[in-house]
Structure 1
Amino acid sequence: MEDKYVKKKMKKIIKKDKFISSWRKYSNLYLIFLPVALWYIVFKYIPMGGIIIAFKDYSVFKGIAASNWTGFENFERLFRSSAFLCVLKNNIIFAFMDMLVVFPTPIILAILLNEIKNKKGKRLVQTITYLPHFISWAVAGGLFYMVFSISTGPVNAIIRNLGAEPINFMGSSHTYRWMIVLSSIWKEVGWGSIVYLAAMAGIDEQLYEAARVDGAGRLRCLMHITLPGIAGVISIMLILRVGSILDLNFDQTFAMLNDAVLGVGETIEYYIYRVGMSSVNNYSLGTAVGIFKSLIGLVMVLLSNFVANKISEEGGIW
Structure 2
Amino acid sequence: MNLVRPPSVSIALRNASLASLLLLATSAVRAGLTAEDLIGRVGIAPADVARLQNGEIVSYSVSETGSKSLATGIAMYLKTAPARIVEVIKRRELIARDPDVTAQGVVPTGAGAEAFVQFAYTQAQADEARDLLNVRPGLDFNLSTEEIAGFAALKASLNTDDDKAVAEAVSKQYRTVLAARLQAYRRKGLAGIAAYDRGDGEKADPAAELTDATQASKLLAEHFPELQKALLRYPADRPADADDGFGWVNRTVQGRPTPILVHRLIYARNDGAVLLQRAFYVGHSYNSSQIFAGSVPYRDGALVLYSVRSSTDQVSGMGEALKHSIGRKQMEKEMIKKFQALKASVNG
User: TM-score range with shorter-chain normalisation?
Assistant: under 0.3
Structure showing the higher helix proportion among its residues: 1
Structure showing the higher strand proportion among its residues: 2
Normalised by the size of structure 1, how large is the TM-score?
0.27
Normalised by the size of structure 2, how large is the TM-score?
0.25
Larger Rg: 1
